[in-house]
Amino acid sequence: MERPGLARTTLVRPDLRRRRAGPQPSGACRRAMFKERTGERLSAPSIIDIACVYRTIRVVYGTVMAPKRPASPALAEPSGGAAVPAPPGQAAPAQPAPPTSSVRIDALSGDPNFMTSLARGLAVMHAFSDRKREVTISQLSLKTGFSRAAVRRCLYTLIKLGYAGTSDSRHFHLRPRVLALGHSYISSMPLSSAAQPVLDHLSKVLHESCSVAMQDDLEIVYVARASVTRIMSIDLHVGSRLPGFCTSMGRIIMAYLEPEELERVLARIDFTRHTDRTVRNADKLRQTLRLVRRNGFSIVDQELEVGLRSMAVPIRNPEGVVVAALNVGAAAHRVSIQQMQSMFLPHLRAAAEEMSILLR
């Protein structure tokens, strides 16, 4: 029997349950009872922790208490947009996670013309990371939100069609045939084929890497690129994706959107801070876009990567609508903003006009 005021620490394994007389409560009831006793919110990760590992439990006067977690130094984000420290001893509210592919597909499942199985296969293919060549079914399931059985069927189909492969039935990778999907799109675009010779010439004149990109939702996608050989170069190529809000080409395209469409885009942007110079909120970006539209060009100074400075101009279709952007990137220590405007801008505008003519 314990003396008052003292607590003892013991290890409790949840899966070793004592048998009791009478009917036993269900799993949901047991979780609710545990929640009521501890006052701890049972999120999905904590439920997994309870089911799979030993946890240290403090027992005081017969009351079960979850171990205290160390206070997080996270910042709480108030409605005004300015980040302030969370109150001492109180963790900042968790930011909502972006929706998985499963959530987005389920939202469209009510459409009788929507093919859910095709959408799942494309989502699994898209979930492969460029940083890790081989992934497991569990990793793909976690990233997409699909069950492991659904991921397994998608992988089986992709393997049979030649788009994926495996060496040990546990680790999976994409095969070169996937490139045919992107090649079909690139080869069918008049801009990509028409822009490449102009882009190559522009890169030789400026002695810098030049690119053409188009908008895809909140990102830009490179559809043509001419690189120069340097000791240090940026690993970008056709098909590369970058966030639109902090890139010169993304801002050019956004600046010419209709006001209603621009507001919808601004409301969905996650203003990730890539450097100390990255724009942090929609109000500041809105002001920058107004300036971009008035000047007809965009300069981004080390907002995406420290040491990288870029300038972009619009490319228009025969109707005068901005459909893409042309840019040049340079090292900040070699080319100043004034040099970009005086030396690069005339060549960029001439090349963009030539590309616009080729689209007619």
Domain boundaries, the chain: 8-17+24-65, 113-178, 189-358
Per-residue pLDDT of the chain (360 residues; tens, 9 = 90+): 444 444 444 444 444 444 444 445 444 445 444 444 444 444 443 333 333 333 333 333 333 344 444 443 433 333 334 444 445 555 555 555 667 778 888 888 788 899 988 999 989 988 887 666 788 999 999 989 999 999 999 999 999 999 899 988 899 998 888 877 776 666 666 777 778 899 999 999 999 999 999 998 899 999 889 988 764 556 788 888 899 999 999 999 999 999 999 999 999 999 999 999 999 999 999 999 999 999 999 999 999 999 999 999 999 988 899 999 999 999 999 999 999 999 999 999 999 999 988 877
Size of the chain in residues: 360
Q: What's at 246, amino acid-wise?
A: C
Residue type (1 letter), 121: G
C-alpha–C-alpha distance, residues 287 and 264, integer Å: 16
CATH topology of domain 189-358: Beta-Lactamase (3.30.450)
Question: The pTM is what?
Answer: 0.58
The CA-CA-CA angle for residues 126, 192, 128, to 5°, reads 10
**Torsion angle in degrees (nearest 10) through CA of 40, 41, 44, 50:** 10
Domain 113-178 fold is Arc Repressor Mutant, subunit A (1.10.10)
pLDDT at 28: 46
DSSP state of 231: S
List b or e across 164-181, with b for residues whose CB sees 16 or more CB atoms inside 10 angstroms: bbeeeeeebebeeeeeee
Question: Tell me, what's the pLDDT at 303?
Answer: 93
Distances (CA, A) of 356 to 90, 213, 239, 314, 316: 56, 14, 21, 9, 5
> Cβ atoms within 10 A of the Cβ of 107, count?
11
> What pLDDT shows up at residue 234?
65
DSSP secondary structure string, 107-161? HHTT-TT--HHHHHHHHHHHTS-SS-S-EEHHHHHHHH---HHHHHHHHHHHHHH
**pLDDT for the residue 158:** 92
Q: Report the pLDDT value the prediction gives residue 178, as an integer from 0 to 100.
A: 83
For residue 214, the cross-strand partners are: 221
Which pLDDT value is given to residue 21? Answer: 45
Please state, in angstroms and rounded to a whole number, the distance separating the CA atoms of residues 125 and 158: 8
Identical fold, 113-178 and 189-358:
no
Predicted local confidence at residue 94, as pLDDT: 53
